[in-house]
Amino acid sequence: MLKPGWVGGGVWYDRHTMVLAAFLLAAATLADLEVALQPAPGRLTVQMAVGSKLPDDWTQALSAGAPVSITYRLRLYRNRRWLWDLRLASHELVVKAQRDPLTGVFSLVSEIDEEILASGQADTLDEAIFWVTHPPSAELALPLRHEPLWLFVRAEFLTRYKLLVIPSTVGTDWVQKAVPESP
């Protein structure tokens, strides 16, 4: 006969474990970032797309006219077998959007490492969100001769504060991609 709280085979469960499992399952489905890599001699072109739903605070702020952005963090590591991985480069692609309250047109700017990569305008909220979640491709410099490399990418939407001082970043999980050899 089984004791209360025990499931066949001797696995113990309670409400807290079930809530934690449901929370982890929901968190795993929220992190959705697609990354495509195109190697060339000495360069790597990175194309990203956020597939998950953006936070409601973010979309409400954009439609109200507040400046919002998504920060794509790109980190390039050299894969070493016997030591920790060596960081070769770190880049930040920031895609900004803001609605002009008089004309209703959204101004869009994309910057990589604080240099303007692309800019544009959108007439509707959906076009602005698409442009920000599917930013222009970024080109990164690579060494001509290299050992296996890893690229880690993350998209960060906004920062929330707990107790007004403890920051927590809302974004996707880190996506790890092996950098292919250039043709």
Report whether pLDDT(41) > 70.
yes
Q: Which amino acid belongs to residue 142? A: L
Mean pLDDT of 11-34: 52
The CA-based angle 57-109-165, given to 5 degrees, is 40
Mean pLDDT of 162-175: 87
Q: What is the 3-state secondary structure (H, E, C) of 95-154?
A: EEEEECCCCCCEEEEEEECCEEEEEEEECCHHHHHHHHHCCCCEEEECCCCCCCEEEEEE
Q: Sign of torsion, CA 168 173 175 176?
A: positive
Distance (Å) of CA 106 to CA 59, 70, 72, 96: 13, 15, 20, 10
Model pLDDT, residue 173: 93
What pLDDT band is residue 17 in, cutting at 50, 70 and 90?
Answer: very low
Q: What does the block give as tokens for 87?
A: 């960081």
Longest dimension (CA), the chain: 72
Which pTM was predicted?
0.77
Mean pLDDT of 20-28: 46
Mean pLDDT of 134-151: 85
| Rg, C-alpha atoms of the chain | 21
Model pLDDT, residue 85: 65
What pLDDT band is residue 160 in, cutting at 50, 70 and 90?
Answer: confident
Model pLDDT, residue 164: 80
Neighbouring-strand partners of residue 95: 70, 110
Mean pLDDT of 11-30: 46
Report whether pLDDT(79) > 90.
no
